[in-house]
Amino acid sequence: MSFGGLGGGGVAPPEQLEVDTVDEEEVVGEDGGVSLEGLKIEEEEQQAGESSKAAGKAVEKEESDDEPQFPDMTTGEIDNAFRDALVYSLHTVLTSPDRASNAHHSLNFPLPSSYVLANLIIPKLPNLQNPNYSIQKTSWKKIQKMLKQMDKEDLLKIKERGGDVVVYAVNWESNRIATFTPYPIVTPRPKKKPVEESAAGPSSSSNGSSTGIKVVELYKPPAKLNAIYDVTSVSSKAFYTSSQVRDTLYKYFISPTPTDPSETLVSSTNARMITLNPLLSNLLLDDTKDARLLTSGTATRDLLAERFLRLHQQYYTIISPSGEESKPKSGTPPKITITLESRQGKKVVTRIKGMEVFGVDVGKFMEELKSVAASSVTKGPIEGGGKAAEGMVEVLVQGDKSAEVERLLGKKGVRKGDVAVDNKLKKKK
């Protein structure tokens, strides 16, 4: 039996777990009428009134017919629905044909209980309109208690952290996950758009902010860490995210010790304390700086995980809006750099470079920046950029326009974390 946030046994989960989004159903009924003012024929007025009542009843009937009726469910049936929904999501992760070979995926362990409920359970319930499907109506009442039960059923591995329960591993070798049979999911009709919204054209969310290029940090284990990867049955030849690297070490911590298979390196009184063995001491600790830890024979899990991560070789990959991944490149991930500096005395300029890596059309960006900044915008080659800057340009705009630049980049899908601001004006003060 193998637990792991990485898929275990060489099975790589998909880059991204597709989750259905659901809007609440809205049935709109318009209350209209016909003015009979100025007409003196009482029969026509009476007929109009009767027609209005009949129309009202027809609308009520139509709305009633649209609303599905659900029979009451037993607590056991609701429990099974929530359990199956979780297994369904894990089965989707495991069997997706779009899995990336280097195991990029949306299951960024550890998973908070709220994430599991919102993203792995609710979207896979059989009918999202059924009011019976509420975590409060299960026997567990709370998602944290449900996850503890899933741990007992050998489906997940959980830990309690800060009053919450987090999932730090999945038993990807479970037959329940591998052989699960998907079932159809009934989703409500999309919410109708107001007339004024349709007339106004696409909303602001269509500006491309969700389709930008994503840069992902990766780590590859060096040969000296093979011993830990071998014990955990995780490939030492692949690339991993930082959380996956930590998960590998955590898996090593809970692996049976060679001297006593019934024991692990995790302290029985404090799960955050790890007993040091010769391998951990030699790899992660310094004889001089960590003399106190070596003497005590224990160290915190977080300290060891941070040291373990630093030993890995750093890479990065670029994921296009279509989901295509570039071949991992060594080094730190690139960033778009915004530099503020003064030229010719007190003249302030803003320089922007590195946009091409993130798929930003420099020409269009310059036009938009010129409009919002109300200032002249020029471009030129990147000075001192070397081979890495070939084919790239640096954009220059008069004045401190860093805020405008950041807003424009955000609209083009560039994440804040992928932008670095170098304010040389402050350094001179």
Side-chain half-sphere of 365: how many Cα atoms within 13 Å? 28
Q: What is residue 124's predicted lDDT score, i.e. its pLDDT?
A: 92
Q: If pLDDT is split at 50, 70 and 90, which confidence band does 197 have?
A: very low
Alpha-carbon gap, residue 284 to 115, rounded angstroms: 32
Backbone angles phi, psi at 423, to 5 degrees: -90, 95
Of 124-133, 208-217, 330-339, 370-379, which gets the smallest average pLDDT? 208-217
Alpha-carbon gap, residue 274 to 266, rounded angstroms: 5
Closest to 334 (Cα-Cα) out of 360, 313, 358, 363? 358
Q: What is residue 346's predicted lDDT score, i.e. its pLDDT?
A: 77
Question: How far does the chain reach from its first CA to its final CA, in angstroms?
Answer: 61
Alpha-carbon gap, residue 225 to 300, rounded angstroms: 19
The pLDDT of 329-354, averaged and rounded, is 87
Q: What is residue 245's predicted lDDT score, i.e. its pLDDT?
A: 94
105-117 pLDDT, tens digit per residue, is 447 777 888 889 9
Of 3-17, 140-154, 197-211, which gets the smallest average pLDDT? 197-211
State both tokens at 25. Answer: 């159903």
Is a pLDDT exceeding 60 seen at residue 143?
yes
Task: Report the share of the chain in percent with pLDDT over 70.
Answer: 73
Long-range pairs for 144-147: beta carbons < 8 A, 24 or more residues apart: 144/113, 146/82, 147/113, 147/116
Task: Report the share of the chain in percent with pLDDT over 90.
Answer: 38
Is a pLDDT exceeding 70 seen at residue 3?
no
State both tokens at 280. Answer: 């951990």
275-311 pLDDT, tens digit per residue, is 999 999 999 999 999 999 999 999 999 999 999 999 9
Of 122-126, 266-270, 404-408, which gets the smallest average pLDDT? 266-270
Report domain 216-313's class: mainly alpha
Q: If pLDDT is split at 50, 70 and 90, which confidence band does 188 have?
A: low
Q: Which residues pair with 338 in a beta bridge?
A: 352, 421
Side-chain half-sphere of 309: how many Cα atoms within 13 Å? 17
Q: If pLDDT is split at 50, 70 and 90, which confidence band does 247 have?
A: very high
The DSSP element (H or E) to which 286 belongs, if any, is none
Task: Specify the pTM.
Answer: 0.47
Query: Could you give the dihedral angle defined by the CA atoms of residues 242, 245, 249 and 250, in that order, rounded to the nearest 10 degrees?
Result: 60
Is a pLDDT exceeding 60 seen at residue 35?
no
State both tokens at 265. Answer: 């390196």
* Per-position b or e across 220-238, b if 16+ CB within 10 A of its CB: bbeeebeebbeebebbbeb
Q: What is residue 64's predicted lDDT score, i.e. its pLDDT?
A: 47
Tell me the pLDDT of the chain averaged across its residues: 78
349-389 pLDDT, tens digit per residue, is 999 998 888 888 889 999 999 988 888 899 888 876 666 66
Domain map of the chain by residue range?
1-23+42-192, 216-313, 334-428
Q: What is residue 66's predicted lDDT score, i.e. its pLDDT?
A: 56
Most confident of 33-37, 140-144, 202-206: 140-144
Of 31-40, 58-67, 166-175, which gets the smallest average pLDDT? 31-40
The one-character DSSP state at 321 is T
Superfamily per CATH, domain 334-428: SUI1-like domain (3.30.780.10)
Q: What is residue 19's predicted lDDT score, i.e. its pLDDT?
A: 44
Closest to 9 (Cα-Cα) out of 171, 240, 120? 171
